[in-house]
Amino acid sequence: SQQGEEDPQALSIQEGENATMNCSYKTSINNLQWYRQNSGRGLVHLILIRSNEREKHSGRLRVTLDTSKKSSSLLITASRAADTASYFCATSIQGAQKLVFGQGTRLTINP
């Protein structure tokens, strides 16, 4: 089964609003990453947060990690139409080089 599960599966908001997506995982991790996938394209890395970090920022992105709850959230502030995409969390387990991806959240930004 998937290590990461995103919630919600789909999210539709108005341009300018903030979008929050959540990810839960099952086992202890080394780090957690968020990726974006535009329709018909490959995944693009957005941000990485390590297991000893609680919050990280990159531009309009804010990621939090709660290892006690085995969960993470991705916040996109002041959303734009170009943010329309699917967003995936991916976990890296200690000692393993591979990532395990969740099912993703489909985000739609309405102009």
Q: Binding to other proteins by residue 44, rule CB under 8 A?
A: yes
For 28, the enclosing helix (H) or strand (E) is none
Shortest Å distance, C-beta 109 to other proteins:
22
Q: Binding to other proteins by residue 89, rule CB under 8 A?
A: no
CA 87, 88, 93 angle in degrees (round to 5)? Answer: 160
- Binds other proteins by CB under 8 A, chosen from 72, 79, 84, 88: 88
Of the candidate spans 12-20, 52-60, 66-74, 93-101, the one that interacts with other proteins by CB under 8 A turns out to be 93-101
Beta carbon nearer to other proteins, 79 or 106: 106
Burial of 79 (0-12, 13-18, 19+ CB in 10 A): buried
Query: Cβ neighbours of residue 108 under 8 Å, at least 6 residues apart?
Result: 10, 11, 12, 13, 84
Contact residues for other proteins (CB under 8 A)?
Answer: 2, 30-31, 33, 35, 41-45, 48, 88, 92, 97-104
